[in-house]
């Protein structure tokens, strides 16, 4: 057979693409459930880590995370731009899609953690890093002003530099910082390490990765400002 | 059956073992260096990467060898790429489903197996002109030999960079300066340049033992 004819080449490539596409589609479908389960567990773990739980895993990971999540996260709900609670699935809300909408139409998830007599509000944040998306969770004490803990993750920040936002060492710098200054929303600024005295509204960035560090500050300011109405509602009560 | 070659024949054995010595893809051919630098900070991801690459080189060589007579010469590189890319996507998906943490650590490098020169190199140089069994053996051998170097580098880097192996502490806590001892992890080993230097040392040792590699 002449394998160099144009018609042969065309038919060959068509058939090859169809076979490969079918095989990949089949594999993607077969593995969809375990992959989604892994993502769900990871999300639950990140939410727990923002309130300082699940830092050490004991026993089988999936079971452990599920049981810890059930134990501490007592409420999940959505709020709109006016700070009112609305119907919907908070856990599976995709922040990326919500941020693409105009501010008035956004539905924003809130998670509530209750550990003995401490009540914490966990808010998801999302923004742009140096190379790709960065995201995380910020937990607030029930004055909705003081940060209790944070957890950040990233898609593709520079390993060893920007990627350090995913380490506890960096995340712990936010604990105890405040969002409101004289009842104005200011959020927390990430500054160049050692460039200024730290106060309640500043944390040190990571040396060598100014852009990623600043991006974390910007992400917190922009994402959390969506919740201003929600914060306001609480302080009036 | 007497005509047919046994899977473990001397020739096939040589195809498998040759990449570990005279034809080592990393130390002799200097292929696939980038991933060797990136995934060797810890042993566990290095081993997963080694297995993934071995599976991809073996399977892609086998598949290309099986269809080698039907491939139109003009689009042969595209056909090879499609086969390799499909296999890599499969490996990536399986890792995400079964070893999510490790797949996150390996991040883009699983996808980048596609660009690993060893795979295309073996397909072009061997699988296109040989029968399926030797091609499979050759692919597996090259993947495993690449993996072996990866594991050696990762062993050194994890032991001296983090003081552990498979995340299990080897160097006792009490040795560290912060606990009043005399020892400190070498931070430089964690960084990519040190992987290159370790690789250089491996090549040096390899060449000093194997005289046939010396240039005349």
Chain A nearest-CA distance from B12, in A, is 30
What is the C-alpha separation between B51 and A151, in angstroms, rounded? 32
Read off the pLDDT of residues A62-121 as tens digits, 9 standing for 90 and up. Answer: 888 988 899 899 889 999 888 888 888 888 888 889 899 898 889 999 999 998 888 999
Q: What is the 3-state secondary structure (H, E, C) of B147-181?
A: HHHHHHHHHHHHHHHHCEECCEECCCHHHEHHHCC
Total structural domains in chain B? 1
Once rounded to an integer, what is the mean pLDDT over residues A58-63? 81
pLDDT bucket at B158, cuts 50 / 70 / 90: confident
The domain in which residue B93 lies consists of 30-210
Q: Which two tokens stand for residue B161?
A: 């960079």
Lowest mean pLDDT among A132-141, A208-217, B88-97, B173-182: B173-182
* A-to-B residue pairs, Cβ atoms closer than 8 angstroms: 54
Query: Is B16 domain-assigned?
Result: no
Give the pLDDT of residue B54: 92
Q: Is B66 on the interface with A (CB under 8 A)?
A: no
**Exposed / middle / buried, residue B95 (Cβ in 10 Å: 0-12, 13-18, 19+):** buried
Give the pLDDT of residue B1: 39
Query: Is B118 domain-assigned?
Result: yes
What is the C-alpha separation between B170 and B32, in angstroms, rounded? 30
Read off the pLDDT of residues B204-213 as tens digits, 9 standing for 90 and up. Answer: 888 888 877 7
Give the pLDDT of residue B3: 53
Residues 6+ apart with CB under 8 A from A88: A78, A107
Are residues B128 and B120 in contact, defined by beta-carbon separation less than 8 angstroms? Answer: no
Give the pLDDT of residue A160: 67
What is the C-alpha separation between B69 and B66, in angstroms, rounded? 8
Residues 6+ apart with CB under 8 A from A150: A50, A136, A137, A138, A139, A171, A174, A175
Give the pLDDT of residue A216: 93
Residue A26, pLDDT > 70, answer yes
Q: Which residues does chain B have within 8 Å of residue A16's beta carbon, measured at their own beta carbons? A: 79, 82
Residue B95, pLDDT > 50, answer yes
What is the C-alpha separation between A125 and A135, in angstroms, rounded? 6
Once rounded to an integer, what is the mean pLDDT over residues B131-147? 90
Give the pLDDT of residue A45: 92
Nearest Cα to B140, choosing from B60, B66, B38?
Answer: B60
Q: What is the 3-state secondary structure (H, E, C) of B59-128?
A: HHHHHHHHCCCCCCHHHHHHHHHHHHHHHHHHHHHHHHHHCHHHHHHHCHHHHHHHHCHHHHHHHHHCHH
Q: Which residues does chain B have within 8 Å of residue A27's beta carbon, measured at their own beta carbons? A: 89-90, 93
Are residues B141 and B20 in contact, defined by beta-carbon separation less than 8 angstroms? Answer: yes
pTM score above 0.90: no
Residue B164, pLDDT > 70, answer yes
Give the pLDDT of residue B2: 42
Q: Which residues does chain B have within 8 Å of residue A35's beta carbon, measured at their own beta carbons? A: 93, 96-97, 100
Mean pLDDT score of chain A: 88
- Is there a contact between B75 and A13 if contact means CB atoms under 8 Å apart? yes
pLDDT bucket at A209, cuts 50 / 70 / 90: confident
ipTM: 0.73
Read off the pLDDT of residues A115-173 as tens digits, 9 standing for 90 and up. Answer: 888 899 999 999 999 888 999 999 999 888 899 999 999 887 876 678 889 888 899 99
Are residues B62 and B97 in contact, defined by beta-carbon separation less than 8 angstroms? Answer: no
What is the C-alpha separation between B195 and B41, in angstroms, rounded? 8
Once rounded to an integer, what is the mean pLDDT over residues B66-83? 90
User: Cβ of A116: how many Cβ atoms within 10 Å?
Assistant: 5
Residues 6+ apart with CB under 8 A from B27: B149, B199, B202, B203, B206, B207
Give the pLDDT of residue A122: 93
Long-range contacts formed by A95-99: CB under 8 A, 24+ apart? A95/A124, A95/A126, A95/A135, A95/A223, A96/A126, A96/A133, A99/A126
Residue A236, pLDDT > 70, answer no
Query: Is B14 domain-assigned?
Result: no
Task: Determine the residue of chain B that is closest to A22 in CA distance.
Answer: B86
pLDDT bucket at A237, cuts 50 / 70 / 90: very low
Q: Is B188 on the interface with A (CB under 8 A)?
A: no
Chain B nearest-CA distance from A90, in A, is 24
Strand order in the sheet with A85-86: A85-86, A73-79, A108-115, A118-128, A133-141, A147-154
Task: Determine the residue of chain A that is closest to B102 in CA distance.
Answer: A38
What is the C-alpha separation between A7 and A5, in angstroms, rounded? 6
All structural domains of chain A with their residue ranges: 73-234
Task: Determine the residue of chain A that is closest to B98 in CA distance.
Answer: A34
Give the pLDDT of residue A44: 92
- Is there a contact between A13 and B96 if contact means CB atoms under 8 Å apart? no
Q: Which residues does chain A have within 8 Å of residue B79's beta carbon, measured at their own beta carbons? A: 12-13, 16
CA distances from A55 to A33, A49, B31 (A): 26, 6, 39
Task: Determine the residue of chain A that is closest to B92 in CA distance.
Answer: A28
**Exposed / middle / buried, residue A76 (Cβ in 10 Å: 0-12, 13-18, 19+):** middle
């Amino acid at each position: 057979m002449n394998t160099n004819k144009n018609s042969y080449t065309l038919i060959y490539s068509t058939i090859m693409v169809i076979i490969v596409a079918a095989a990949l589609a089949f594999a993607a479908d077969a593995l969809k459930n375990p992959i989604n389960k892994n993502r769900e567990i990871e999300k639950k773990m990140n939410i727990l880590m923002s309130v300082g739980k699940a830092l050490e895993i004991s026993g089988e990971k999936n079971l452990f995370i599920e049981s810890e999540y059930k134990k501490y996260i007592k409420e999940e709900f959505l709020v709109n731009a006016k700070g009112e609670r609305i119907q919907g699935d908070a856990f599976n809300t995709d922040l990326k899609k919500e941020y693409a909408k105009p501010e008035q139409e956004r539905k924003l998830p809130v998670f509530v953690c209750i550990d003995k007599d401490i009540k914490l509000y966990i808010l998801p944040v999302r923004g742009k890093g140096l190379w790709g998306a960065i995201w995380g969770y910020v937990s607030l004490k029930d004055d909705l002003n003081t940060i209790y803990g944070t957890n950040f993750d990233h898609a593709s920040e520079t390993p060893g530099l920007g990627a350090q936002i995913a380490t506890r060492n960096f995340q712990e710098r936010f604990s105890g910082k405040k969002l409101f200054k004289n009842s104005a929303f200011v959020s927390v600024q990430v500054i160049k390490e050692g460039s200024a005295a730290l106060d309640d509204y500043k944390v040190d960035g990571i040396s060598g990765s100014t852009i990623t560090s600043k991006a974390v500050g910007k992400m917190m300011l922009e994402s959390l400002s969506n919740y201003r109405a929600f914060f306001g509602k609480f302080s009036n009560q | 059956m007497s005509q047919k070659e046994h899977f473990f024949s001397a020739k096939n054995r040589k195809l498998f073992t040759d990449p570990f010595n005279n034809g080592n893809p990393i130390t002799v051919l200097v292929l696939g260096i980038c991933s060797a630098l990136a995934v060797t900070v810890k042993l566990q991801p290095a081993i997963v990467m080694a297995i993934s690459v071995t599976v991809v080189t073996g399977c892609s060589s086998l598949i290309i060898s099986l269809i080698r007579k039907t491939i139109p010469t003009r689009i042969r590189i595209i056909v090879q790429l499609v086969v390799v890319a499909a296999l890599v996507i499969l490996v990536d998906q399986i890792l995400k489903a079964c070893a999510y943490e490790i797949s996150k650590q390996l991040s883009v490098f699983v996808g980048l197996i596609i660009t690993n020169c060893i795979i295309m190199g073996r397909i072009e140089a061997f699988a296109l002109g040989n029968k399926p069994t030797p091609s499979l053996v050759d692919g597996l051998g090259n993947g495993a030999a690449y993996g072996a170097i990866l594991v050696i580098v990762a062993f050194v880097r994890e032991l001296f960079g983090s003081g552990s192996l498979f995340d299990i502490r080897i160097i006792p806590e009490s040795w560290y300066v912060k606990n009043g001892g005399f020892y400190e992890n070498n931070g430089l080993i964690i960084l990519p340049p040190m992987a290159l230097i370790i690789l250089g040392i491996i090549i040096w040792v390899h060449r000093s033992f194997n005289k046939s590699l010396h240039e005349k």
